[in-house]
């Protein structure tokens, strides 16, 4: 059973209150015992049937893969408020009522970097994996289509949820207090990775990023959606918008990214449409790094991979849980040492086939 180490704090790391905890994921099999005793078949037949069901269940269990080991660190840093959220959902598709393990070997990792307030990133943390699961289980569409629909549904969900909260009561945790027009200027990036035994599916909307370390080489699995990216600049201008340089390129001089969940006041220039990559896993894959731009603004892809790789290799014979946790903490500290002014959230996932 895969152990999970997670380090997460919303306080300044300089206060020295980072926390670590271990957690064991235990999955239970529930059997339906509601049949009437009067309708039961003879004991011998019941035993034979039970043996067949048990054999089938063992075969299905053998198809399930354990969740990769990972570490998470999320800190407020030098910002006044914590607006990042991180979601980790091992085996997030679960089992159906017949004990089928379809989706049981799919694992969900997401980093959501909010802006304007934290409620959109928190909503993405709570709901994105459920929406992706629904799209996956409802058909055999390619991952590109399933992820595109998921992000659009997440955007619709945020709009509906925000309106519902604003019409009922304020959220005391929200700086924007969920009132129009403030809630219309709140949004979040979303970078999501779904891992299967054979594939890495990454869906990105905004300027958070996913980077694969393969045999020591950094391979970006997403491209930041910046307003001055030539294709994004062209799309914005063709929609009637403008990119204005105000402390860097910004859509209408306001938002420093060209795609996001939420931000209804900037539509159609800022869109929730993700870009999706599907990458075959190989035996040379070492780790996957998902992080908000608080890391990537000051640390290059190759440097991040070098740090994570060093942590994984330095703990031979020990739990890779701790190695991944060490990597996420060290990357966060490096970002802060390089004067990152943003929240910093880092997820490091061990992709090695055999944990050293």
Whether the CB-CB separation of 186 and 296 falls below 8 Å is answered with no
Identify the CA nearest to 73 among candidates 292, 356, 303, 341: 292
User: Cα separations (Å) of 86 from 125, 126, 128, 314, 346?
Assistant: 6, 10, 11, 26, 9
List CB contacts of 309: < 8 A, sequence separation 6 or more: 213, 216, 286, 287
pLDDT at position 283 over 90? yes
Structure-token match 């990216």, residue found? 229
Please report the pLDDT score of residue 316 as a whole number: 66
What's the pLDDT tens digit per position in 189-232? 999 999 999 999 999 999 999 999 999 999 999 999 999 999 99
pLDDT band (50, 70, 90) for residue 173: low
Indicate the Cα dihedral angle 156, 160, 166, 171, nearest 10°. -70
What's the pLDDT tens digit per position in 180-194? 455 678 999 999 999
Tell me how far apart the alpha carbons of residues 24 and 105 are, in angstroms, rounded to a whole number. 17
Q: The pTM is what?
A: 0.79
What is the number of helices (H) and of strands (E) in the chain? 7, 16
Tell me the mean pLDDT in the region 119-134.
96
Whether the CB-CB separation of 221 and 296 falls below 8 Å is answered with no
Tell me how far apart the alpha carbons of residues 202 and 143 are, in angstroms, rounded to a whole number. 9
Tell me the mean pLDDT in the region 154-167.
79
What's the pLDDT tens digit per position in 246-279? 999 999 999 999 999 999 999 999 999 999 999 9
Mean pLDDT score of the chain: 80
What's the pLDDT tens digit per position in 303-340? 999 999 999 998 765 667 799 999 999 999 999 999 99
User: Cα separations (Å) of 284 from 173, 214, 281, 312, 352?
Assistant: 44, 5, 8, 14, 8
What's the pLDDT tens digit per position in 28-83? 223 232 333 333 344 444 344 443 333 343 333 334 567 899 999 999 999 999 99
Tell me how far apart the alpha carbons of residues 254 and 258 are, in angstroms, rounded to a whole number. 10
Please report the pLDDT score of residue 183 as a whole number: 63
| Of the candidate ranges 45-49, 149-153, 166-170, the one whose mean pLDDT is the lowest | 45-49
Tell me how far apart the alpha carbons of residues 127 and 212 are, in angstroms, rounded to a whole number. 25
Whether the CB-CB separation of 95 and 13 falls below 8 Å is answered with no
- Take residue 223 and report the two structure tokens written for it: 């491209």
């Amino acid at each position: 059973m895969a152990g999970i180490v997670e380090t997460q704090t919303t306080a300044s790391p300089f206060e020295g209150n980072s926390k670590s905890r271990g957690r064991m994921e235990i999955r239970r099999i529930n059997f339906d015992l509601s049949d009437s005793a009067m309708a039961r078949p003879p004991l011998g037949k019941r035993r034979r049937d039970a043996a067949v069901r048990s054999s089938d269940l063992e075969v299905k269990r053998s198809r399930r893969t354990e969740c990769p080991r990972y570490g998470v660190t999320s800190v407020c840093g030098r910002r006044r408020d914590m607006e990042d959220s991180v979601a980790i959902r091992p085996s997030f598709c679960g089992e159906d009522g017949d004990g089928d393990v379809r989706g049981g070997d799919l694992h969900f990792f997401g980093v959501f970097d909010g802006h304007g307030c934290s409620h959109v990133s928190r909503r993405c943390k709570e709901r994105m994996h459920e929406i992706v699961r629904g799209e996956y289980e409802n058909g055999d569409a390619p991952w590109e289509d399933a992820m595109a629909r998921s992000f659009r549904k997440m955007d619709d969900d945020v709009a509906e949820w925000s309106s519902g909260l604003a019409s009922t009561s304020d959220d005391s945790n929200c700086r924007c207090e969920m009132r129009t027009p403030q809630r219309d200027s709140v949004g979040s990036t979303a970078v999501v990775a779904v891992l299967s035994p054979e594939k890495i599916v990454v869906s990105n909307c905004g300027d958070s990023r996913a980077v694969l370390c393969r045999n020591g080489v950094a391979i970006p699995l997403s491209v930041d959606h910046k307003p001055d990216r030539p294709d994004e600049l062209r799309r914005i201008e063709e929609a009637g918008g403008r990119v204005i340089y105000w402390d860097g390129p910004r859509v209408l001089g306001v938002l420093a990214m060209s795609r996001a969940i939420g931000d209804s006041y900037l539509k159609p220039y800022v869109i929730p449409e993700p870009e999706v990559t599907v990458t075959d896993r190989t035996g040379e894959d070492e780790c996957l790094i998902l992080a908000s731009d608080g890391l990537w603004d000051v640390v290059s892809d190759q440097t991040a991979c070098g740090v994570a790789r060093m942590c994984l290799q330095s703990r031979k014979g020990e739990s890779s849980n701790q190695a991944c946790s060490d990597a996420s903490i060290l990357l966060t500290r490096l970002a802060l040492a390089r004067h990152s002014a943003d929240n910093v959230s880092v997820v490091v996932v061990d992709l090695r086939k055999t944990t050293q």
